[in-house]
């Protein structure tokens, strides 16, 4: 019996060594074909613009094309589901954000993915967001927005990324603060939301500043406040949320990179280095400044630690927004 047991243990050890050898060989030759980068937002949104710019630099770092696949909508759930179901070989990566990992698991039952299905690779950047209104709404300040929403409770609509998304939670929090009934309308990204605002399909929203600069310059959208510690260099005359009287809202938007669970750690580390090198490049950071985002890369372990703390912040925000848990229904 002891001989049989020792033989079985020997075979198991040999199998493990062979698996490690194969995995190591794959990591050394990775990548040897194009990489799919799933972006959980619609084409034309500021994150999509950033990742398309990064993909050219990443190709030089990795030696293979990085092909963007947009899976926008449903507060990042569609993109996360696609990534979680992909083969964990390093050829499918996904760009995720705060809703994906921190908010959706607290807001929805029966999600088609779990945060544990995604391996943290690196945080990429923090997003500077702002509060914007359609120029056709005739609103010029946060105070005027509040007065208008209270005087005409059913007159305003608000662009979101779907139930439970950051813009949606902000709307719910604002409604609670002001005793108003601004109604959320879902879009697949900041780009479509910005166009809807310019057309006055919705009257107000909170999204990344970079989505709106062209429309602000064209006079179609007005910025009421920016969600930052200090005013944005892109909008020096626009107050911060705190200056505008809305400083109690917690949380900050971020974007990061993940891989399907089971992706070899050696490949995760190689991908991490490539993305960190790109997002730390001075020339690339000049580009990021124009998008009103701040590079904030990490190690895989550092990103995992950040996610634990961000989930705690999400719990606070969801409570403040008085948001109830509900069953996720595919769109």
Using one digit for the tens of pLDDT, what is the confidence trace for 183-214? Answer: 999 999 999 999 999 999 999 999 999 999 99
Residue pLDDT, tens place only, 78-100: 999 999 999 999 999 999 999 99
pLDDT at 141: 97
For residues 142 and 186, membership in a common domain is answered with: yes
Please state, in angstroms and as integers, the Cα–Cα distance from residue 298 to each residue in 104, 152, 156, 211, following that order: 23, 46, 40, 25
Return the number of other C-beta atoms located less than 10 Å from residue 312's C-beta: 9
Q: Per-residue confidence at 324, pLDDT binned at 50, 70, 90? A: confident
Residue 105: phi and psi, rounded to 5, are -65, -25
Q: How many CB atoms lie within 10 A of CB 3?
A: 7
**Residue 136 sits in the same domain as residue 172:** yes
Distance (Å, whole) CA 318 – CA 211: 25
pLDDT at 16: 47
The answer on 292 and 151 residing in a single domain is: no
Residue 214 resides in a domain = yes
| Residue 107 placed within a domain | yes
The total number of residues written for the chain in this structure:
331
136 lies in some domain:
yes
Is the domain of 122 the same as that of 263? yes
Task: Identify the pLDDT of residue 19.
Answer: 47
Together in a domain, 265 and 186 = no
**Is there a single domain that holds both residue 223 and residue 287?**
no
Residues spanned by the domain of 165: 129-227
Task: Kindly state whether residue 10 falls inside one of the protein's structural domains.
Answer: no
317 and 257 in one domain? yes
* Residue 296: pLDDT band with limits 50, 70, 90: very high
**How many domains does the chain fold into?**
2
Where residue 192 sits, what CATH number does that domain have?
3.40.190.10
Does a structural domain hold residue 28?
no
How many other β-carbons are positioned within 10 Å of the β-carbon of residue 144?
Answer: 14
State the burial class of residue 308 (Cβ atoms within 10 Å of its Cβ: 0-12, 13-18, 19+): exposed
> Can you tell me which residue has the tokens 């190690």?
299
Structure tokens at 160: 């979101």
> What does pLDDT average to over the chain?
90
- How much is the average pLDDT of 118-127? 96
* Separation between Cα atoms, residue 66 and residue 76, nearest integer Å: 20
Residue 246 domain flag: no
Q: Is 212 helix (H, G, I), strand (E, B) or coil?
A: coil
Q: Is 223 within a domain?
A: yes
- Which of these ranges, 34-43, 140-149, 171-180, has the smallest mean pLDDT? 171-180
**Residue of 127, 153, 144 whose CA lies nearest to 244:** 144
Instruction: Please report the sign of the dihedral spanned by the C-alpha atoms of residue 53, residue 58, residue 64, residue 68.
Output: negative
CATH of the domain at 266: 3.40.190.150
Contacts of 269 (CB under 8 A, 6+ apart): 300
Does residue 220 share a domain with residue 136? yes
pLDDT in the model for residue 318: 87
* Mean pLDDT within 163-190: 90
CA angle centred on 10, ends 5 and 13, rounded to 5°: 125
What pTM does this model have? Answer: 0.85
273 within a domain of the structure (yes/no): yes
**Cβ neighbours of residue 106 closer than 8 Å, sequence gap 6 or more:** 311, 314, 315, 318, 325
Instruction: Write the DSSP string, 109-152.
Output: ES-SS-GGGEEEEEEEEEE-EEEEEEGGG---SHHHHHHHHHHS
* Residues whose CB is less than 8 angstroms from the CB of residue 151 and which lie 6 or more positions away in sequence, other chains included: none
Same domain, 82 and 49: yes
């Amino acid at each position: 019996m002891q001989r049989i047991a020792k033989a079985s243990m020997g075979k198991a050890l040999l199998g493990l060594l062979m698996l490690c050898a194969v995995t190591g060989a794959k990591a050394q030759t990775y990548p040897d074909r194009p990489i799919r980068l799933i972006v959980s937002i619609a084409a034309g949104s500021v994150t999509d613009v950033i990742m398309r710019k990064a993909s050219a630099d990443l190709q030089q770092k990795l030696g293979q094309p990085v092909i963007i696949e947009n899976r926008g909508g449903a507060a990042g759930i569609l993109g996360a589901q696609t990534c979680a179901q992909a083969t964990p070989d390093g050829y499918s990566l996904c760009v995720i954000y705060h809703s994906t990992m921190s908010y959706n698991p607290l807001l929805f039952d029966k999600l088609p993915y779990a945060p544990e299905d995604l391996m943290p690779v690196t945080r990429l950047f923090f997003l500077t967001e702002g509060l914007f209104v359609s120029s056709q709404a005739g609103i010029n300040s946060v105070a005027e927005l509040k007065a208008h929403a209270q005087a005409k409770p059913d007159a305003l609509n608000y662009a979101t990324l779907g139930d439970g998304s950051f813009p949606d939670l902000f709307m719910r929090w604002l409604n609670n603060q002001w005793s108003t009934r601004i109604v959320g309308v879902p879009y697949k990204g900041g780009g479509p939301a910005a166009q809807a605002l310019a057309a006055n399909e919705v009257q107000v929203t909170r999204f990344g500043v970079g989505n709106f600069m062209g429309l602000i310059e064209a006079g179609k959208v007005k910025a009421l406040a920016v969600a930052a510690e200090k005013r944005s260099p892109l909008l020096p005359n626009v107050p911060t949320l705190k200056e505008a009287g809305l400083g109690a809202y917690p949380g900050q938007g971020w974007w990061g990179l993940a891989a399907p669970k089971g992706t070899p750690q050696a490949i995760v580390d190689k991908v991490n280095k490539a993305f960190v090198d790109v997002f730390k490049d001075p020339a690339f950071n000049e580009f990021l400044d124009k998008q009103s985002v701040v590079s904030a890369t990490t190690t895989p372990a550092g990103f995992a630690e950040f996610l634990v703390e961000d989930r705690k912040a999400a719990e606070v925000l969801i409570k403040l927004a008085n948001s109830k848990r509900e069953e996720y229904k595919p769109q």
